[in-house]
Copies of this chain bind each other. A is one copy, B any other.
Amino acid sequence: MPSAGTTRRRADAERNIAAILDAATDLLARAPDAGVGDIAKAAGVGRVTVYAHFPSREDLVRAVLTRAIEESMAAVTGAAGGEDGDPPDVAFARLIRESWPVLSRYGRLHEAAVRALPAEEVREHHDQPMEAVRALVERGRSTGAFRTDLTTDWLVTTVYALLHAAADDVAAGALDRDGAAGVLQTTLLSVLRPAP
């Protein structure tokens, strides 16, 4: 079978779906309560067209979140999955440096997802990339590179919180996107490394 048995999808439809997804990602990252009308306008498309491709606002948000998580996973595992060749603090610094350009674009998207989707579903998605961070933190703890006087949970929470704070500051213009990666590296390694 060529595709799915039924009639194929036209090229402009494909293009519009991509445009809607892109616009929704950008807009929701800045205005988590943006309506379908706003998203359609940002995508240069009629409101009805959005509903032609996504059954409901909830489905659209889900699609945006899924894609964002996939991209994040690729960035995070690509940098953190770099085997045990490097010591944990070096690996962590690389993780931040390489995943920041991706993560910094998602701003308040998480908030949009929490409002539109069941809490547990968001948690499941969001925990995926954080699992890679957790694994790296635990490896660091076992080798003595990272501190053990704080729980792993709290350290991961700290990483998560500061990443989001930096993304918010970038969105608000209070922080330079390119410089933020270095600031995050410095700050987070100060937290992760054992106290002297």
Which one, B157, B174, B187, B196, contacts A153 given CB within 8 A? B174
- Taking CB atoms and an 8 Å cut-off, the chain A residues in 146-164 that contact chain B are 149-150, 153-154, 157-158, 160-162, 164
Question: How many copies of the polypeptide does the oligomer hold?
Answer: 2
How far apart are the CA atoms of A174 and B152 in the complex, in Å?
A: 12
A165 interface contact, C-beta 8 A: yes
- What residues on B are CB-neighbors of A164 within 8 Å? 161
- What residues on B are CB-neighbors of A161 within 8 Å? 161-162, 164-165
- What residues on B are CB-neighbors of A186 within 8 Å? 149-150, 195
How far apart are the CA atoms of A191 and B115 in the complex, in Å?
A: 32
How far apart are the CA atoms of A15 and B194 in the complex, in Å?
A: 51
* A contact patch SS: helix
How far apart are the CA atoms of A11 and B77 in the complex, in Å?
A: 62
A38 interface contact, C-beta 8 A: no
Is the beta-carbon distance between B158 and A165 smaller than 8 angstroms?
yes
- What residues on B are CB-neighbors of A98 within 8 Å? none
- What residues on B are CB-neighbors of A175 within 8 Å? 154
A135 interface contact, C-beta 8 A: no
Is the beta-carbon distance between A150 and B183 smaller than 8 angstroms?
yes
A169 interface contact, C-beta 8 A: yes
- What residues on B are CB-neighbors of A169 within 8 Å? 154, 157
With A157-B165, A162-B158 as known contacts, state yes or no: A195 contacts B187, CB within 8 Å. no
What are the 5 A-B residue pairs with the smallest beta carbon separation, nearest first?
Answer: A161-B165, A161-B161, A196-B196, A190-B191, A190-B190
